[in-house]
Every structure is written in C-alpha cells, then in structure tokens.
Amino acid sequence: MTKQIRLTTPLSNEDVEKLNIGDKVLLNGVLLTGRDAAHKRLFELIEEGKELPVDIKGQVIYFVGPTPAKPGKPIGSAGPTTSYRMDPYSPKLIELGLKGMIGKGNRSQTVIESMSKFKAVYFGATGGAGALIAKRIKKAEIVAYPDLGPEAIRILEVEDFPVTVINDTRGNDLYQEGIKRYAKE
C-alpha cells in the first residue's frame, strides 16, 4: 500500500527507514544538485582525504542539469537525468551520510546494497516534466564548480517537490516489482 509522505531535509535514518517503494513523497527544504562531472570531482576529493565543498550528511542530491532561468525565475527547466552515470560514485557518498538521490532509471546492485547498509533511498522524478518540476523550486544558488555550467553543484530550496520511492532501505526495487506484477497478469 503506497502512501504520500511529506519530508523536510536534512533526512535522518528514521525518515528514510519508514519509506517503502512506491511511496509518493513531497520533499521540502534544501536539495543539492549534481551530475556525473560534479560527482567525479567529489569522489576525487574524498579519495585525496580533502573536505567536500558541501555537507552531504542527511542531504538529497538531485541528478539534474537545469536550463538557464528566465527573468524573475530561480531556475529553468529542471528535469532528472539518467542516474546510472552516478553509480560509480554514489556508494561512497552514501557511506558518508547522503540519505537520498533523485533521478530517473535503474541503479546498480552495488548502489542498492549501499542504500541498505547505510540507510539511504533512491527517488524517481518524472522525466519530461522539467518545466513542471521547476515550479517546486523556490530558490537556486551555485555553491561549487561554477565552471561546470548546468552541471555545477547548486543548493535548491524546494516546496512539495514530488518524487516516488524507487529503492528503499530494505533493498526493494519498484522497477523490478513492476516487472514481476506485470508478468503475473
């Protein structure tokens, strides 16, 4: 039975442990953004033992490269990007306290196992709905790697940002469950 839940970041273990695949979640507070180029840089800093430019503990990273903002708007279209490109970097960020990721598409088994071990979730956002999603973003500010343009790390202030739980802390996968249910019918 799926339910709708409203959460405010930063997230705790308790917040993510109560989530189940298929749950509809409205996120409030702050999200970080980052795609593969930014993730690669974060990963390199971790490997070098250096401090990250943002605190990821309890945070949610949205895999997005938004378009430029129109006058008077905080951000342009902000649809999710395919998540598997972050799979090489996500387990380490999860181990360091990241509690959620937002994107589209499947995650690797290694990422799913990391989410179970360190208590994190993967949310899906609706691809192709970037203009609608952007309406839930109230403020956007580049905080790291401005040279990456759309792929710079931003802090987004969001209000009722709509996502669905794809992978929960128990290793469940909404996409795999959907395939099983469809095969039975």
Distance CA 169, CA 68 (A): 35
Fold of 7-184: fumarase (3.20.130)
Shortest CA distance to 101 belongs to which of 117, 85, 82, 122?
122
Q: Where are the domains of the chain?
A: 7-184
pLDDT (average), residues 25-31: 97
From the number of C-beta atoms within 10 Å of its C-beta (0-12, 13-18, 19+), residue 71 rates as exposed
What pLDDT does 45 receive?
Answer: 97
Q: Would the pLDDT of 181 be above 80? A: no
Average pLDDT, integer, range 71-82: 92
- Please confirm whether the linkage preceding 10 is cis (ω < 30° from 0): yes
User: Percentage of residues in the chain with pLDDT exceeding 70?
Assistant: 97
Please answer whether residues 133 and 125 qualify as being in contact, where contact means their C-beta atoms are separated by less than 8 angstroms: yes
pTM of the shown model: 0.94
**CB-CB contact of 58 with 12 (8 Å):** yes
Query: How many beta carbons lie within 10 A of that of residue 172, not counting itself?
Result: 17
